[in-house]
Amino acid sequence: MGYKIFSISIIALVLVSGPAQAVYPDYGLDMQSATWVTSSNYLKCVMKQDIPLYGKAEFIQAAGKPLRMRLTTLQPVTQPSLANFESRPPAWNHVASKQDMGTVSLIKGKVPVNMESGRSKQVIAELEKGMQPTLRFVDAAEGKSQVEIAISPIRFQDALQKFRTCVTQLFPYGYDQLRNSKVYFQPNDYYLDEQAKEALQRLARYIKLEKNIRLITVNGYASAEGGRFENMTLSEKRANVVTEYLALLKVPAKLVKKRFYGDRKMVASNKTKKGRALNRRVEIKLEKPF
C-alpha cells in the first residue's frame, strides 16, 4: 500500500522590523500553487508539506501511536521558547476572523515542534474549515527575527481523505507494543495454547511489515517446580516450540536467536500460583537499528 498525491504549501515568512513597515521574505510557494504530499504503508501514514529553504511540516500517524504534527527545520532551533499559535483566514476569505489558539512549546534541535494528538487534531480541524493555522516565533537562526509559518488549506481535503484511508488500514500494533512479547505455559508443559499462537501470529504479521527488524531473541524460562536439570530442559523445549512456530509462520530463521535459562531470571515469586504462572514463559524480543 503506497501512493503520493499532490501536497500543500506552507508559507514561511520572516518579519524584519524597519522604520517604515515590515518586510516579508517569502520562503514558501505561492498560495495558489500549494500542494500536499501523502505517503503510506501499513505501519505509518504521513501527510506533509515542504517549506522551501526552511524545512517541512508533517502530520504523522504510526501503528499503535497517536497522531502527531511535527515541524522539521533545516537549521536547528538553538534555544527553547514559545510560539504563538493562531488560525487565520486566507487572503480570499473576508468573512472569517482570526482565532487565538494559545501557544506551542518549541524545543532545541531540528524538530522544534512536535504537537501531541489533541493539538494536532485541532490543526487538522482548522484546515478543514479552510483556515490557515499559523505559528509565529523568534528564531535565533534567523538573526533573532520573527518567523511566521502559515499552513495553506488549498487542496487539503483531497490529501486528508487519502491520509484517513491510510489510518483505517494501519496495523493495530506498533513496535513499542510488540518489542517485548511474551507467551505463557501450563505447569511442566511446552505446548502452545490458542492464546499463545494468536500472539505469535500477530508478531509474525508485524515482522513481515517491519523491514527494519534486525534481531529476534527467543528466551525460554521455567518456574522452580522441578529440579534444576528438568527446568533447564523444559525452558529449552519452550524456546524450541516458539522458534519452530515462528518458522512455520515464515519468520526468517536468520533473524532468530534462541536462548534458555531454566528457573533463573524469575520475574515473580515462585511461592504463589500467580507468580509461578508468570515465570513459565517465553519472551520474544525484537530489535531495530537505532
Q: Are both 62 and 189 inside the same structural domain?
A: no
Q: Are both 156 and 185 inside the same structural domain?
A: no
Q: Are both 17 and 161 inside the same structural domain?
A: yes
Q: Are both 159 and 75 inside the same structural domain?
A: yes
Q: Is residue 4 part of a domain?
A: no
Q: Are both 220 and 114 inside the same structural domain?
A: no
Q: Are both 37 and 101 inside the same structural domain?
A: yes
Q: Return per-residue pLDDT of the chain as tens, 290 residues.
A: 543 333 334 344 433 333 333 333 234 445 666 789 999 999 999 999 887 778 888 999 999 999 999 999 888 888 888 989 999 887 777 777 888 999 999 999 999 999 999 999 999 999 999 998 988 888 766 565 778 888 888 889 999 999 999 999 999 999 999 999 999 999 999 999 999 999 999 999 999 999 999 999 999 999 988 789 999 999 999 999 999 999 999 999 999 999 999 999 999 998 999 999 999 999 999 999 87
Of 168, 188, 212, the position where a domain reaches its end is 168
Amino acid in the structure at residue 21 = Q
SS3 category, 274: helix
Of 168, 194, 224, the position where a domain reaches its end is 168
Q: Are both 111 and 56 inside the same structural domain?
A: yes
Q: Is residue 14 part of a domain?
A: yes
Residue 231, domain CATH = 3.30.1330.60
Q: Are both 164 and 180 inside the same structural domain?
A: no
User: What is the torsion angle, in degrees rounded to the nearest 10, for the CA atoms of residue 268, residue 272, residue 274 and residue 278?
Assistant: 30
Q: Is residue 1 part of a domain?
A: no
Q: Are both 121 and 190 inside the same structural domain?
A: no
Q: Is residue 197 part of a domain?
A: yes
Q: Are both 101 and 243 inside the same structural domain?
A: no
The pLDDT score that the predictor gives to residue 138 is 80
Number of domains forming the structure of the chain: 2
Q: Is residue 3 part of a domain?
A: no
Q: Are both 158 and 35 inside the same structural domain?
A: yes
State the distance between the two ends of the chain, measured CA to CA, in whole angstroms: 25
Going across the sheet that includes 44-51, the strands are 37-40, 44-51, 55-62, 68-73, 113-115
pTM: 0.81
Q: Is residue 217 part of a domain?
A: yes
- C-alpha grid cell, residue 170: 494501519
- C-alpha grid cell, residue 222: 521455567
Residue-range definition of the domain harbouring residue 80:
10-168
Q: Is residue 232 part of a domain?
A: yes
Q: Is residue 233 part of a domain?
A: yes
Of 168, 191, 223, the position where a domain reaches its end is 168
- Residue that the C-alpha cell 515465570 belongs to: 279
Residue 160, domain CATH = 2.60.40.2540
- C-alpha grid cell, residue 114: 512536535
Q: Are both 200 and 254 inside the same structural domain?
A: yes
The pLDDT score that the predictor gives to residue 281 is 98
Instruction: Please give the Cα distance from 108 to 69 (Å, whole number).
Output: 16
> Is 187:66 a contact under the CB 8 Å cutoff?
no
